[in-house]
Structure 1
Amino acid sequence: MHLPTLRQLQFLCALADEKSFSRAADVCNVTQPTLSSAIKEVEAILGVQLVEREARGASLTRAGEAAVERARAILSSAADLVAAAHQAGEPLTGHFHLGAIPTLAPYLLPRTLASLRASHPELKLYLREDQTDRLLEGLRNRTLDAALIALPWPASGIETEVLGDDEFLFVGPKDHKLSKANSLQPDDLNGEDVLLLEDGHCLRDHAVSVCSLSPSSASSDVGATSLATLVQMVAGGLGVSLLPRIAADAGVTAGTDVTLRTFDKPVIGRQIGIAWRAGSPREAEARMIGESVREALSTRKDAATP
C-alpha cells in the first residue's frame, strides 16, 4: 500500500492553516510548485479531492477537512515518538516548549530558567506567555510540552502537579481606610471598588472565588491587562485590589504610593502548578521542570520577610 509521507502531510496541514499555496510554501520553506505537486500526490494516493483551488487561495473539501484532522494526529504522534526517544536517552535535552500565565511568568521564570540552564545546558527552552485556556489548548494540540498555571483549574485531558501555594495580599492607596485599618478580613473588600484583571485571566476568577466578592465589587468597568498596570491603577486612587505574594516579593509595587498588607488570616488565593497533556511522553520532563520551579518557590519563601 502506498502511503503519504510525513512531509506531504505537513504540506497539507500548512495549506489548511494558510489557505494559500504560496503562503503555505513559504511556511514549509519550499517552492510553490513543489508544495502543489505534493498535494496532488496525496490526493492521488487517497483517491479523493482534498483541496478546492481558487483564484484567491485554497479551501478544503469535506474530505480534505477529515484528512487534515487525521494528518495532524499522525504528525503529533510522530513528534511524540521523537520526544519519547530523546527523553529515554537523556531528559531535558533539545527543544522544550513551556507556557506560563502572565501573572507567573515575569516573577517566577527568571530564577527557574537560570537554574535549568545551569543544570541542563543542552536544553533549548522556548517560552510562551498566555492566558490559561489558550495554554491548555496548546498542550492538547501539542504545540506546548508543559505549562505553569494557577490551580485549581479543571481541564479535561490535562494532568497537573501542585508546586506551591501563593498567598493573596491586599493592595490599596496609602490613604484608603482599609490600608490603615487595625484588622483586615477578605469580607472587608465587599462594597469597595475592587480592581481586577480583565476577563480571561485566571487570577480574576480566583480572586472572586477566594474572597467571595459580590458582583457589585468585582464587576468594575475598569480592567487591567497586567499586575503592573493593576498596581498603577490602585496608586492612582481608582480602587483596591488583591496581589499574589509572588509578584509582591518580586517588587511589582516598588516605586508606587500604595500600601501592601496581609489579611489577618493569610488567604491562600491559588496554588502554582505545572500541567501537561495526559499521556504525554514528556511527562517526566515536565515534572523535572516542576521540581526546579518548586525549588525556586522554596528559595523565595525562605528569603521573604516574615
Structure 2
Amino acid sequence: MISLPSPQQLRYLVALAEQGHFGRAASACAVTQSTLSAGVIALERQLDAAILERGPSKRPAFTPLGLELVARAREALSALSAVAETAQSAREPLTGPLRLGVIPTIGPFLLPRLMPALRAAHPRLRLWLREDLTDRLGEELEAGRLDLLLLALPSGLRGVETQVVAEDPFLVAMPESHRLAGLASLPMGSLATERLLLLEDGHCLREHALAACRLPAARAGEGFSATSLHTLVQMVAGDLGITLLPRLAVQGGVLAGASLALRPLEEGASRTLGLAWRARSPRAAEFRGLVEAVRQAVETGG
C-alpha cells in the first residue's frame, strides 16, 4: 500500500516553493525552520524521491520532479479545502470568511457601495479584501489564497469560471478648453489624432479601453502613462492629453478636485465587469448568488 503524504507535509512543500526561503516558509506555516526542514526531508524519504537539489546555496532549489510535486501538492490541498467548503456551503451559504480580490480600477469606486449592502444582506459573511492587478490576483486565486475575484472581462485567466455583472461605459475626459469639449458626444474617429493617455502596461483597463475603442496599442500615450486613475486625471488636467475613464470611476469621485469635461462616445464603448472563481469550486452557487448584489451596487452609482 502506498504511503500517502500528510496535508501538513504538502503545506510545507508549497510554502517553500512560494516563499523561496526556509525561514519565511516556516513562518508562513507557523512552525520552526527545523520542523519544516525535517518535514520536507521526511517527505523525500517517504516518496523515495529527490525534491530539492543539495548544494552550497541557502535558497531552496527544486529538482524537476520536485517542481511537479509542488504543482500536485497545490491541487491536493485545493481538493482538501473543497471538501470542507462543500460542507460549509451546504450548511450555511454566504457565511464565514470570503477572500475577495479586486482590481484597482474597480475597488476604490465600487466597494464603498458594495460593502454596506453585503453586510446588511449577509451579516455573518466576513469579507477579506485584496487589491492588485489581474495577473497577480489570478495567481492568488489559483493558489487558494483568494476565493473570488471582482474584475474586468475578459480576464485572460485560465481555470476559472466567470459571471458577467454589468457593463461599465467609457467616457472621454479632456480639459474644459479642449477643442472637442464643445461637442455633446464624440465620434470614435475623433480620438485617432489625439494624444491618448492611459494606465501603464499591466493594467487590464488599458487593453480593454483600446479594444473597446478599436485603437492600436501603439497609439496610446506616445510614451505617457499613469499608475492610477487619479494620476491619469491629473495628467489630463495638466493638458498633457485626453483619456478614457470608466463611468464607475467617475461616479466614485475620481474627478474630485479636477475640472474636466466628460463626453460619451457616439458609438458607445464599455468594459465588462464580472466575478471569477476557480472552475468547479464547491462555492460556485454562492458566488453566483452575489452577482445581483454587485450589479445593484454598480447601478446605484448612476
**TM-score, structure 2 as length reference:** 0.91
1:108 to 107, 110, 113: 110
Are the structure 2 counterparts of residues 67 and 195 from structure 1 closer, same or farther at C-alpha, using a change threshold of 3 Å?
same
Are the structure 2 counterparts of residues 61 and 260 from structure 1 closer, same or farther at C-alpha, using a change threshold of 3 Å?
same
The question of whether the paired residues in 2 share the 8 Å contact of 1:192 and 1:217 is answered with: no
Are the structure 2 counterparts of residues 107 and 19 from structure 1 closer, same or farther at C-alpha, using a change threshold of 3 Å?
closer
Aligned residue number for residue 193 of structure 1: 195
The question of whether the paired residues in 1 share the 8 Å contact of 2:252 and 2:301 is answered with: no
- Please tell me the residue identity of whatever aligns with 1:33: S
2:130 to 128, 131, 135: 128
Please report how far the alpha carbon of residue 154 of structure 1 lies from its aligned counterpart in structure 2 after TM superposition. 4.8
Bigger Cα displacement from structure 2, 189-198 vs 47-56: 47-56
Please report how far the alpha carbon of residue 214 of structure 1 lies from its aligned counterpart in structure 2 after TM superposition. 4.7
Aligned residue number for residue 281 of structure 1: 282
Please report how far the alpha carbon of residue 195 of structure 1 lies from its aligned counterpart in structure 2 after TM superposition. 0.6
SS in 1 for 2:18: helix
- Please tell me the residue identity of whatever aligns with 2:194: E
Please report how far the alpha carbon of residue 184 of structure 1 lies from its aligned counterpart in structure 2 after TM superposition. 2.0
Bigger Cα displacement from structure 2, 125-134 vs 159-168: 125-134
Please report how far the alpha carbon of residue 117 of structure 1 lies from its aligned counterpart in structure 2 after TM superposition. 1.6
Are the structure 2 counterparts of residues 137 and 123 from structure 1 closer, same or farther at C-alpha, using a change threshold of 3 Å?
same
Are the structure 2 counterparts of residues 215 and 74 from structure 1 closer, same or farther at C-alpha, using a change threshold of 3 Å?
closer
Please report how far the alpha carbon of residue 104 of structure 1 lies from its aligned counterpart in structure 2 after TM superposition. 0.7
Distance 2:6 2:185 in 1: 68
SS in 2 for 1:281: coil
SS in 1 for 2:60: strand
Bigger Cα displacement from structure 2, 215-224 vs 93-102: 215-224
Please report how far the alpha carbon of residue 74 of structure 1 lies from its aligned counterpart in structure 2 after TM superposition. 0.8
2:61 to 49, 59, 62: 59
Q: Do residues 27 (structure 1) and 28 (structure 2) align?
A: yes
Please report how far the alpha carbon of residue 236 of structure 1 lies from its aligned counterpart in structure 2 after TM superposition. 0.3
Q: Do residues 143 (structure 1) and 145 (structure 2) align?
A: yes
Please report how far the alpha carbon of residue 183 of structure 1 lies from its aligned counterpart in structure 2 after TM superposition. 4.8
Are the structure 2 counterparts of residues 122 and 54 from structure 1 closer, same or farther at C-alpha, using a change threshold of 3 Å?
farther
Aligned residue number for residue 70 of structure 2: 68
Distance 2:231 2:218 in 1: 22
Bigger Cα displacement from structure 2, 219-228 vs 282-291: 282-291
Distance 2:18 2:139 in 1: 16
Aligned residue number for residue 304 of structure 1: none
- Please tell me the residue identity of whatever aligns with 1:45: Q
Could you report, residue by residue, the CA deviation over 1:217-247 in whole angstroms, capped at 9, with x for unpaired residues? 4242110111111110000000011111111
Distance 1:283 1:115 in 2: 20
SS in 2 for 1:192: coil
Aligned residue number for residue 206 of structure 2: 204
Aligned residue number for residue 235 of structure 1: 237
The question of whether the paired residues in 2 share the 8 Å contact of 1:145 and 1:286 is answered with: no
Are the structure 2 counterparts of residues 135 and 26 from structure 1 closer, same or farther at C-alpha, using a change threshold of 3 Å?
closer
Distance 2:161 2:38 in 1: 41
**Aligned-pair identity (%):** 48
SS in 2 for 1:222: strand
- Please tell me the residue identity of whatever aligns with 1:75: L
Could you report, residue by residue, the CA deviation over 1:240-265 in whole angstroms, capped at 9, with x for unpaired residues? 11111111112211221211222345
Give the aligned CA root-mean-square deviation in angstroms.
2.0
Which consecutive residues of structure 2, in runs of 5 or more, have no partner in the other structure?
Answer: none
Please report how far the alpha carbon of residue 156 of structure 1 lies from its aligned counterpart in structure 2 after TM superposition. 3.7
Are the structure 2 counterparts of residues 215 and 101 from structure 1 closer, same or farther at C-alpha, using a change threshold of 3 Å?
closer
Distance 2:216 2:45 in 1: 62
Please report how far the alpha carbon of residue 60 of structure 1 lies from its aligned counterpart in structure 2 after TM superposition. 2.1
The question of whether the paired residues in 2 share the 8 Å contact of 1:170 and 1:261 is answered with: yes
